Amino acid sequence: MSHNPNAAVHAQESVHHEATPNSKSFVTFAILCGMALLALFVGFSDLGSMKVVASLLVSTVQAGILAYFFMDLRSADKQTWLIAAASLFWVFIMFLFILTDFLTRHLGVL
C-alpha cells in the first residue's frame, strides 16, 4: 500500500471541489416539487391498473433527480457510481426472483 511519508497529523492541504451553488439547488427543488405534484395528480386520477405503473414511473424519475443533483451523483467518482449501481442491481435480482415465482406459478391456469 502506498503511503505519503510527508503526510502528518493535521497537515493543512487543499483540493479542488465546489459545493453546489444555492441557485442550482433552488432549481432542483422546483423540479422535485413539480414531480411531487405530478405524482399526486396521477395518484388522484382513475387510471385503473395502470395507476401503479404511472405512479412508480414518476417516483423513479423523482428519485433519480434527487440522487443526481441533491445527492451530487453528477460529480461523484466512478467508485460511487459503481456502488450505487450495484445496490440497484442487487435489489433488481431480489425482485426478479420473487416476481418470476409469481409469474410462473400464479397465472390461474391448471
Listed residue (66, 56, 59, 55) closest to 31, CA to CA: 66
Interface residue with another protein among 74, 78, 91, 105 (CB under 8 A) is 91
DSSP 43-93: HHS--TTHHHHHHHHHHHHHHHHIIIIIT-GGG--HHHHHHHHHHHHHHHH
Instruction: Name which position in 74, 78, 102, 105 contacts another protein (CB under 8 A).
Output: 102
Interacting residue with another protein among 78, 83, 100, 104 (CB under 8 A): 83
User: How far does the chain reach from its first CA to its final CA, in angstroms?
Assistant: 62
| Binds another protein by CB under 8 A, chosen from 13, 78, 104, 110 | 13
Specify burial of residue 6 (Cβ count, 10 A radius: 0-12, 13-18, 19+). Answer: exposed
* 77 is a contact residue toward another protein (CB under 8 A): yes
Please report, as ranges, the residues that interact with another protein according to CB under 8 A: 2-4, 7-22, 25-26, 28-29, 32-33, 36, 39-40, 42-44, 46, 49, 51-52, 55-56, 58-59, 62-63, 66-67, 70-72, 76-77, 79-80, 83-84, 86-88, 90-91, 94-95, 98-99, 102, 106
